[in-house]
A = this chain, B = another copy of it.
Amino acid sequence: MRKTSTRLADGRECIFYDRRPVRRSIQPDVRALSSRPDAARLRYDVATGEWVVIAAHRQDRSFRPDTDDCPLCPSRPGVPTEIPADDYEVVVFENRYPALTYLGAEPAGADGVRPDLLHSTSAYGRCEIICFASQHDVSFADLKPDAARLVLDVWADRTVELASMPGVAQVFCFENRGPEIGVTQSHPHGQIYALPFVTPRTARMLAQAADHEVTTGRNLFDDLLAAERRDGARVVIADEHWTAFVPYAARWPYEVHLYPNRRRRDLAGLDEAERDSLAIVYLDLLARFDRLFDSPTPYVSAWHQAPAGPAGDGFATHLEIFTNRRSSARLKYLAGTEAGMDVFSNDIVPEEAAKRLRDLTG
């Protein structure tokens, strides 16, 4: 894998990733970009113990641009985009409208300090966009296995690089796909957040794992994966290296968790064989999701990774992919019980969801 880094007109970093050494003709970015926006703020919700990003400048971000104006396509003569080259395999660049930014901010110790009742701090961190392919009209599911493998390697590389930045507590790689979940750019892309705190969902998992270890002396994720493999009713795909299953208490109509059979902290910890296998299993999973309905399935695909340092010990990296679509005509909305109280209800029985996904072979 070859990395070639450049800077965009406003100073943001842009990194080209290629499978083999190539000479990328990277042009200088001569766009007249306004200066990078003021850093956002993190505000602490003392009633729940959670941080919220307040990022007013994000109101300005582009909203479903026309294909001709896609900022994620390669630049063409006279039409400069966010990517200052005429082609690419995979490219990563700092988001122009970031929720979190490294700019001028001190690591603020968002974790471990007891904040005041009304407390804010710099929204320290970094938000990156990762373009999966230079072609505008493809999806991740359309990639060949070696192109998908490159994306996995880039996610792993970003995880290592961002986690090494001072003050970064956790790296989150994810893809939102489809207008039904609010995606504003149709070019195939994902996002990478380097966060200054451990996310609430990860913190809950770590607390459950710590509790399980005290009670049983064993690792929660190992036991859970073994239980799902033993039961089998919710397993969708299983090979030598990976197991994909609908979780027993699935919150979403169609939701799959994908674990490596050997517990790993993060994507960077996967070996060659696991990565090769993952590319194939993940493409298979995405293809099954797209066969669920009569048009492309909106989804969130979220890589859960261990927080940096000892805080992440015992965590098992895994993917959680889910759709908010219940049927061809209906979406699941998060309203009173979910958005108000974090109580999910799901109309689709997990064993039936798993059976459908198992049967949706190509």
Contact = CB atoms under 8 A, between A and B. Distances in A.
A208 B344 contact: no
A286 to B, nearest CB: 16
Given A335-B182, A336-B175, A345-B99, A118 B54 contact: no
Nearest to A320: B340
Contact of A220 (B47, B208, B340, B350): B47
Given A172-B341, A200-B341, A346 B46 contact: no
Interface in A321-362: 322, 324, 326-327, 330-337, 339-350, 352
A138 interface: no
Of A247, A332, A347, which is in contact with the most chain B CB atoms at under 10 Å from its CB? A347
A103 interface: no
Interface of A: 40, 43-56, 58-59, 63, 99, 114, 117-118, 120, 172, 174-176, 181-183, 191, 193, 195, 199-202, 204-205, 207-208, 212, 215, 220-221, 223-224, 227, 231, 247-251, 300, 302, 320, 322, 324, 326-327, 330-337, 339-350, 352
Contacts of A195: 343
Contacts of A118: 227, 231, 248
Q: Is the interface of A mostly helix, strand, loop or mixed?
A: mixed
Number of copies: 2
Given A44-B249, A340-B201, A58 B208 contact: no
A300 B172 contact: no
B223 A336 contact: no
Given A56-B348, A118-B231, A347-B55, A336 B224 contact: no
B302 A200 contact: no
Contact of A58 (B51, B183, B215, B347): B347
A45 B208 CA distance: 10
A53 B59 CA distance: 35
A247 B45 contact: yes
Contacts of A227: 117-118
Contacts of A220: 46-47
Given A114-B215, A342-B200, A47 B330 contact: no
A48 B345 contact: no
